[in-house]
Amino acid sequence: MKLIILGEPGAGKGTQAEILSQKFNIPTISTGEIIRNAIRQGTALGNEAKQYIDRGLLVPDSVVIDIIKDRLHEDDCKNGFILDGFPRTVPQADALTKMGITIDKVLSLEVPEEKIIQRISGRRQCNECGATYHVIYKPPKQENKCDVCGGELIMRKDDAPETVKNRLRVYHEQTEPLKDYYKNKDLLVVAYGQEEVKDTTKEVFKALGVEDYDYN
Ligand code: AP5
């Protein structure tokens, strides 16, 4: 399966992508994660991207398109992949088509804006490996410690309220038009986010036409 997940910041794209990735045994490619890793490592890409990401702005198309082009050529993408956070603009979507990539479905994950604020304000991320938690909905076993690697859990810099406002504005202006873009190609399916992660997964699988899944 070659799947794109669209949705506002904090809608739960990364959370659902991780579950789908395990179910279908295909990688999740998150441009946000790739960029944050580059920032943690202090690479040239990271240093360039940091000035955009910290202000809630999009990194230039040319930079992200190059990242994706390289990543989709890796061996683990042969049987499919999940794109989380790419494309985010019409030129990025056009670039994907020009790469000769045929997408099977585009999932739009819809969550009311007041929930988004609640989710983002409670999100914590591991400073070492990037694993994501939520203080209420997905707490770590030990307070402030990553279950995966024991690293310290911190709030993402771009999760500050003023920056979130910017990210939401950028989403509506530049990314939301992709819903019509893919609807016109007959690829768009919609799932509505629920209070619990596993209930959202049910909606996601229903939208994708997947029936045989144990949600517990
Ligand atoms: P990116 O990392 O892609 O951020 P985003 O789209 O803003 O999405 P988030 O990671 O904030 O949220 P999510 O939808 O994955 O939600 P999550 O699962 O974590 O991009 C960051 C930045 O990178 C951009 O602003 C831009 O600068 C740059 N960038 C990236 N891609 C780019 C591109 N293509 N072009 C240009 N620039 C690009 O869930 C959120 C929280 O809610 C978590 O704590 C989770 O535990 C909790 N939660 C999830 N589901 C539920 C549920 N059902 N119930 C309760 N809680 C839930």
Same domain for 200 and 137? no
Centre of ligand 1 to C-alpha 3, Å, is 16
Query: Is 119 one of the catalytic residues?
Result: no
The owner of tokens 């036409």 is 209
The 8 Å CB, 24+ separation contacts for 117-125 are 117/10, 117/161, 117/164, 119/10, 119/12, 120/9, 120/10, 120/159, 120/164, 121/159, 121/161, 123/10, 123/155, 123/156, 123/159, 124/153, 124/154, 124/155, 125/153, 125/154, 125/155, 125/156
Which strands, in side-by-side order, build the sheet including 132-134?
A: 132-134, 123-126, 153-154
What CATH number does the domain containing 100 carry? 3.40.50.300
Nearest residue CA, atom 5 of ligand 1?
9
| Residue 214 in this model has a pLDDT that exceeds 80 | no
124-159 pLDDT, tens digit per residue, is 999 999 999 999 989 999 999 999 999 999 999 999
Q: Residue 75: inside a domain, yes or no?
A: yes
9-66 pLDDT, tens digit per residue, is 999 999 999 999 999 999 999 999 999 999 989 999 999 999 999 999 999 999 999 9
Alpha-carbon distance of 15 to 130, in angstroms, equals 12
- Annotated active-site residue in 36, 119, 124, 167: 167
Which helix (H) or strand (E) covers residue 191, if one does?
A: strand 188-192
192 or 137, which is more confident: 192
Q: Residue 216: inside a domain, yes or no?
A: no
| Residue 117: domain span | 112-154
Same domain for 124 and 42? no
| Residue 165 in this model has a pLDDT that exceeds 90 | yes
14-23 pLDDT, tens digit per residue, is 999 999 999 9
What is the pTM for the complete model shown?
A: 0.94
Same domain for 118 and 131? yes
pLDDT more than 70, % of the chain: 98
211 or 81, which is more confident: 81
Check if 5 has its Cβ closer than 6 Å to any atom of ligand 1.
Answer: no
83-105 pLDDT, tens digit per residue, is 999 999 999 999 999 999 999 99
Looking at residue 216, its pLDDT comes to 61
Alpha-carbon distance of 87 to 148, in angstroms, equals 29
Q: How far is CA 8 from CA 46, 88, 99, in A?
A: 23, 10, 25
Q: Residue 107: inside a domain, yes or no?
A: yes
Same domain for 107 and 123? no
Centre of ligand 1 to C-alpha 184, Å, is 25
- Annotated active-site residue in 2, 36, 123, 124: 123
Same domain for 142 and 106? no
Judged on CB neighbours under 10 Å (0-12, 13-18, 19+), 33 is middle
Alpha-carbon distance of 188 to 185, in angstroms, equals 8
Please state the rounded mean pLDDT for residues 194-209. Answer: 94
Find out whether 199 and 115 touch, Cβ atoms under 8 Å: no
Query: Is 169 one of the catalytic residues?
Result: no
Judged by DSSP in three states, 193 sits in: coil
Atom of ligand 1 lying closest to residue 33 CA = 2
Tell me which amino acid residue 194 is: Q
Atom of ligand 1 lying closest to residue 31 CA = 31
Same domain for 102 and 199? yes
Nearest residue CA, atom 21 of ligand 1?
32
What's the number of domains the chain is made of?
Answer: 2
Q: Residue 24: inside a domain, yes or no?
A: yes
Check if 58 has its Cβ closer than 6 Å to any atom of ligand 1.
Answer: yes
Reported confidence tier of residue 211, pLDDT bands at 50, 70, 90: confident
Check if 9 has its Cβ closer than 6 Å to any atom of ligand 1.
Answer: yes
Decide the pairing of beta strands 123-126 and 153-154. Answer: antiparallel
Check if 88 has its Cβ closer than 6 Å to any atom of ligand 1.
Answer: yes
Buried b (16+ CB within 10 A) or exposed e, 153-173: beebebbeeebbeebbebbee
Q: How does the average pLDDT of the chain come out, rounded?
A: 94
Looking at residue 213, its pLDDT comes to 67
Atom of ligand 1 lying closest to residue 11 CA = 14
Looking at residue 215, its pLDDT comes to 63
Query: Is 13 one of the catalytic residues?
Result: yes
Looking at residue 178, its pLDDT comes to 98
